[in-house]
Structure 1
Amino acid sequence: MEESGGRRSASHARAWLLLAPLVLGLFVAYFLLPVRVLGPQRPELSWTVFGLVLTVIAVLLLKHMRDALFDRPGTAVALVSLMCLTVLVFSSAYFVISHDPGEFQGLRTRLDALYFTLLTLATLSYGDIAPRGQSARLVILLQILYTFVFLTAAATSLTGRLRRTAAGGPPRGAARDGDDRGPG
């Protein structure tokens, strides 16, 4: 049994080592991908891509939240990565929308969009960027709802998973040695 625990620890360590390059890759892609093909010139395509990407991320978040309950390897890294991806998707949406005159005041760059996304996520506002149009306000409402439902649940799953790992207890669903009562 000890050998499988050692393999499990090595697997967890490898997964965490992947997190930094993965998140770095997401941020590099965010700053380099040509999102200008979307926007006010192609609103149907823009909203469709936005909706599909958020749906795929939501499905993956739900899958990895379930996996976190059973302490499957790699779930914590997957959850952190998907949470970062969610922030970048909303940030990209704000950046694309900002190219439609009258939607945002003060949002001109991708860094502005990322800054605004994180402020919205943290429910803060400095007043330097303000939504003016209906599309901008709709995406803000979607971000708030998406955060409330999916990111809060993912963060709760992640912290529970990390807490169980730090406590050194057996994975959920696995019986303790000498304890035939099962999880409890």
Structure 2
Amino acid sequence: MNPLPGSDGSRPAGPRRARSFLPLLRSTLVSAAATVGYYLLPFDKDLDRHTVVVLVLGLSALGVLLALQTVGIVRSPHPRLRAVEALTTAIPLFLLLFAATYFLYARQQGGQPFSEPLSRNDALYFTVTVFATVGFGDIAPVSQPARVLTTCQMVADLVLVGLVAKVLVGAVRMGVERQGSATAPKRPEP
């Protein structure tokens, strides 16, 4: 006779499966809300010192978010899942932040910094193109400031992909080791 789910001391599969979807649901909702905000917010200011400060603060806030997520990964009962949540939240926010910056800058300059004027879709497309390193096709930076901004994104992309991935993988490893040491039976001391 098969025991009932959970009768052996384990948790029932249903709630465990539901808990595993919650982090993905959270990151999906955050990404969707940020994307809706990107398209609906009235970007009525030009890219000036104020918006550059907002870009820097946004990137800093993203760094703080990732640092907090890293601590959460180490402490989480499901570190791998928590790392996926961190990445699936941070990457869209990062991309939307740069897309908004490109859109504002192109609008301020009348479309001259790029090979064509940028709509919000174009700015997001360009940002993802740079992030994915697939090269420039129909949209390319042509002014020196646009090339500097694009270069900054390329460096930030490398940091996000390289350093952040390494930190998150390390946090997952620490979380898994912490779980292993917490569940390992205590050996009596001689």
Aligned ranges for residues 150-161 of structure 1 at < 5 Å?
A: 150-156=160-166
- Choose the corresponding residue for 1:104, options 114, 117, 122: 114
TM-score after normalising by structure 2: 0.74
Sort the Cα spacing of 1:106 and 1:180 in 2 relative to 1 into closer, same or farther, 3 A. farther
CA distance, structure 1, for counterparts of residue 183 and residue 86 of structure 2: 30
Find the counterpart in structure 2 of residue 31 from structure 1: 39
User: Could you tell me whether the CA contact under 8 Å between 1:23 and 1:84 is conserved in 2?
Assistant: yes
Letter paired with 1:171: V
Runs of 5+ in structure 1 lacking a partner?
Answer: 165-169
- Partner of residue 81, structure 1: 89
Aligned match of 2:5: none
Higher gyration radius (CA): 2
The correspondence of residues 56-135 of structure 1 with structure 2, limited to 5 A, is 56-71=61-76, 74-99=82-107, 100-101=109-110, 102-135=112-145
TM-score, normalised to structure 1's length? 0.76
For 1:167, the equivalent position in structure 2 comes to none
> Match of 2:156?
146
Residues in 2 aligned to 1:121 and 1:57: alpha-carbon distance in whole angstroms:
16
State how far apart, in whole Å, the 2-side matches of 1:107 and 1:70 are: 46
Query: Is there any run of 5+ residues in structure 2 with no aligned partner, and where?
Result: 1-8
State the SS of the aligned residue for 2:96: helix
Q: Deviations over 1:20-44 (max 9, x none)?
A: 22221111111111123232xxx11
Tell me, in whole angstroms, the C-alpha distance in 1 between the residues paired with 2:75 and 2:117: 42
In the TM superposition, residue 47 of structure 1 has moved relative to its aligned partner by: 0.9
Residue matched to 2:24: 16
Deviations 1:58-94 (A, max 9, x none): 2212332343344455453233111110000011111
The worse-fitting range, judged by mean Cα deviation, of 122-131 and 149-158 is 149-158
Contact 1:94 1:113 in 2 (8 A): yes
Q: Distance in 2 between matches of 1:159 and 1:7?
A: 26
Tell me the distance in 1 between the aligned counterparts of 2:68 and 2:120: 30
